[in-house]
A = this chain, B = another copy of it.
Amino acid sequence: MTDSSPKLLEIVPLLEAIVGERNILLHPESYLYDETPKPVRPEAERNVVVVRPASTEEVSRILRLANERGIPVFVRGGGTGLSGGAIPTRPGIVMSMERMSRIVEIDEQNLVAVCEAGVTLRQLLEAVEKVPGLSFPPHPGDESAQIGGLVANNAGGARAVKYGVMRNYVLGLEVVLPSGDVLSLGGKVIKNVTGYDLMHLIIGSEGTLCVITKAILRLIPEPGATYTLVIPFDTTAEAIRTVPEILRSGVVPLALEYMDIEAVRAGERVTGKKWPYSGGKAHLMIIVDGGTEDELMHKSEVIERVARRHGALDVLVGVGRREQRDILEIRSLIYEGLKEETIEVLDVSVPIGSIAEFVERCQDEAERLGIKVLHFGHAGDGNVHQQVLRWGFEGDEWVESYSKFKEFAFGLARELGGYITAEHGIGMVKKEDMARTMPETALTLMRAIKRVFDPNNILNPGKVIDP
């Protein structure tokens, strides 16, 4: 804590009694921010106590205490979010889930993993890898993300085309309400229609309704080997028109990514590696998986036929492990490599058939405003990433152009029947955009639901939904 708030100081000994002195941090430096780009992230409130509970029981006692005294609680997972959802913005408690990092079990009989909320994606993947024949398919990016955060944000990622988002893998949750009450939802069952589905309401609620302490996740058989195809086109429209045709060809790719040539170039610069094709304005990167070489070849051929019919300049099939890894690295490191030069990464969701129009009109608008925007993303599920760069701007000069661009992109996404965020979430960063673009009837319901779960507004106040 940087200054002394009597309300907060008072509870420090009470928190110590719950988690032990060692798990209270009064100098919260490394618990203040997440991966949200600096230019747009909110200023963190430094007058906070970091508490690191080790059990559901401790989480419950902390919440009950905070709720009785009306003290805000900011739950923190791996801190890999891009919307400022983990940043404390008022004096209060930062509850870090890092000590709840136990994989309770990998249940081979029921094909599920049971994890505490603080288990990282990396930990889970390693544990599942040890079990022959099983896998956990979602891969929403940074592997230091924690399961609780992945669920709270309904994380997506490139493999969602074939394997779906986090929501599709959550079978059960243990959560703690602000009252301290512990609630088990779902379980090791696949189907369940007993009453309202509170679990599905909580998935994606960004820590504003309750604290997730445990998750029961579905595992599936290993997908087998992969091929990675790179398919360049002359225009965005041609590349994007190919996408629904591929999706209905009967071959469902593991990943179906769009990248404009500017994004490819940026990825090459960051990695020092070379993309397999140097021309073309718009590229598709497609990963297929399969149990046999025959199956992989068959899938690649089907996609090649569709792509050539839609004007592909070439179809390059990466077969070797290293070759595929290099391609993926170029795609994956665009954000990481350009982080320091990034204003924000937008992630609108639009109908698949409208991606081309969205990208082309945004490209034009960016040019008009003199702002550099790299376009890439999960074309197979209509999720476009727009990495907005500060290139060519001094100091804060970017602010006006950027806010105009964002307003244009969000307006266009809504006009095309889409939404302002597909997987990064609202957090602090898009809060006002959500209020502006969502009908009042929906907001009113959301605020009332927030009040049902969190009547004293202690969980992540100021984020997503203010009651």
Contacts and interface: CB of A to CB of B under 8 A. Distances in A.
A205 B196 CA distance: 5
A142 interface: no
Nearest to A413: B189
Interface string A420-442: 11111110000000100111011
Contacts of A425: 193
Interface stretch (A46-54, A102-110, A328-336): A102-110
Secondary structure at the A interface, as helix, strand, loop or mixed, is loop
A351 interface: yes
A145 to B, nearest CB: 14
Contacts of A248: 108, 111, 133-134, 221
A304 interface: no
A207 interface: no
A438 to B, nearest CB: 6
B419 A192 contact: yes
B465 A195 contact: yes
Given A183-B441, A198-B442, A247-B111, A191 B434 contact: no
Contacts of A247: 111, 221
Given A196-B465, A221-B248, A418 B187 contact: yes
B204 A250 contact: no
Contacts of A448: 452
Contacts of A465: 195-196
Contact of A244 (B111, B191, B194): B111
Contact of A203 (B200, B221, B352, B424): B200
A453 B201 CA distance: 14
Nearest to A112: B351
A160 interface: yes
A464 B195 contact: yes
A399 to B, nearest CB: 24
Given A196-B205, A221-B248, A445-B453, A191 B383 contact: yes
Contacts of A424: 193
Contact of A446 (B168, B198, B378, B438): B198
Contacts of A354: 110
B190 A244 contact: no
A154 interface: yes
B244 A192 contact: no
A177 B81 CA distance: 34
A224 B140 CA distance: 31
- How many identical subunits does the complex contain? 2
Contacts of A185: 442
Given A200-B201, A453-B445, A421 B194 contact: yes
Interface string A397-433: 0000000000000000000011111111110000000
A350 interface: yes
Contact of A196 (B112, B204, B250): B204
Contact of A109 (B200, B352, B422): B352
Interface string A162-186: 0011011000000001000111110
A293 interface: no
B189 A196 contact: no
A238 to B, nearest CB: 14
Interface string A369-408: 0000000001001110000000000000000000000000
A249 interface: yes
A249 B132 CA distance: 10
Contacts of A112: 351
A449 interface: yes
A134 B249 CA distance: 9
Interface string A337-352: 0000000000001111
16 contacts: A108-B244, A109-B353, A111-B244, A112-B351, A154-B197, A156-B191, A183-B439, A190-B382, A191-B378, A191-B422, A191-B423, A193-B422, A195-B438, A195-B446, A197-B200, A200-B201
Across the A-B interface, give the 6 residue pairs with the lowest CB-CB distance, nearest first: A109-B353, A200-B200, A191-B422, A188-B351, A190-B381, A448-B452
Given A110-B354, A200-B200, 9 more contacts: A110-B353, A153-B193, A160-B190, A168-B168, A189-B349, A189-B418, A193-B424, A195-B442, A196-B465
